[in-house]
Amino acid sequence: MQKSTPKKYGAVAVTVHWLTALLIAGLLISGNRMDGMADSAAKAQLLMIHAPVGVLIGLLTLFRIFWWWRFDRKPEPVGTTSAWQERAAQGVHVLFYVVILGMAASGIGMMVLSGAGEIVFGGAPGPLPDFGNYAPRAPHGIGAKAMVALLVLHAGAALYHHFFLKDGLIWRMWYR
C-alpha cells in the first residue's frame, strides 16, 4: 500500500523516511570530514557529492511535507505513550523539518555567496574559499549539531518502544 493506514505507515512514507535517514547520516559524516580537511582539491571532490545530496534531502523533505498535507495521514498514536510523549514526538518531527530545510538553505547560501558552486560544479580554477567567512556557515554548523541531537532522541525513543515497551512501534515504519 502506498498510503498509511491507522496502524502502519505506507510505502511512500517508509521509503522517504529511510532514504532521508541514510542520506542524512552520509552528509553528517562527509560534512564532519570536510570540516577538518586542509586539501582543497579533496574537499572539492567531497563537496561535489555533499552539496547535491543536501539539495536532494531538502527536496525529499518538501515532498514529505506535501505528501502528509495533501495525500496521506499519519497512523494513529500507539496506546503506550502518554500525551506529553506524543507532543514531544510531534515536536521532534517538526524540528527535523525545520533543521533539514534550514541546513539545505544555509548550504545553498554558502555555495552561492562564496562562489564555491562555480569551483565545485563549473570547473572554475582555484582553491575553495573559507566557508567560515560567510554568514550561512554558522547556522549550517549549528544545524548539524541539532540534527545529531534530534537523531539520538528519535532513535532512542524508537529503541525504547521496541526493547522496553515492546509495542511494535518500530515495525510501523517498515514495509509490510
Question: Does a structural domain hold residue 25?
Answer: yes
Contacts of 57 (CB under 8 A, 6+ apart): 20, 23, 24, 27, 100, 103, 104
- Write out pLDDT tens, residues 66-125: 999 999 999 998 888 889 999 999 999 999 999 999 999 999 999 999 999 888 888 777
Predicted pLDDT of residue 27: 98
Confidence category of residue 41, pLDDT binned at 50, 70, 90? confident
- Into how many domains does the chain fold? 1
Question: Does a structural domain hold residue 3?
Answer: no
Alpha-carbon dihedral 34, 31, 107, 11, rounded to 10 degrees: 150
The reported pTM is: 0.93
How large a percentage of the chain has pLDDT more than 70? 100
Domain containing residue 41? 11-173
Q: How far apart, in whole angstroms, are the C-alpha atoms of residue 44 and residue 41?
A: 5
Phi-psi region of 125 (alpha: psi -120 to 50; beta: other; left: phi over 0): beta
Q: Answer yes or no: are the C-beta atoms of 28 and 148 closer than 8 Å.
A: yes
Cβ atoms within 10 A of the Cβ of 141, count?
16
Predicted pLDDT of residue 93: 96
Question: Does a structural domain hold residue 6?
Answer: no
Question: Does a structural domain hold residue 88?
Answer: yes
Q: Answer yes or no: are the C-beta atoms of 57 and 104 closer than 8 Å.
A: yes
Cβ atoms within 10 A of the Cβ of 17, count?
15
Q: Answer yes or no: are the C-beta atoms of 144 and 103 closer than 8 Å.
A: yes
Question: Does a structural domain hold residue 4?
Answer: no
- Write out pLDDT tens, residues 11-28: 999 999 999 999 999 999
Chain centroid to CA 119: 25
Question: Does a structural domain hold residue 29?
Answer: yes
Question: Does a structural domain hold residue 24?
Answer: yes
Helices (H), 71-136: 83-114, 116-122
How large a percentage of the chain has pLDDT more than 90? 81
What stretch of H or E contains 27?
Answer: helix 11-35
Question: Does a structural domain hold residue 90?
Answer: yes
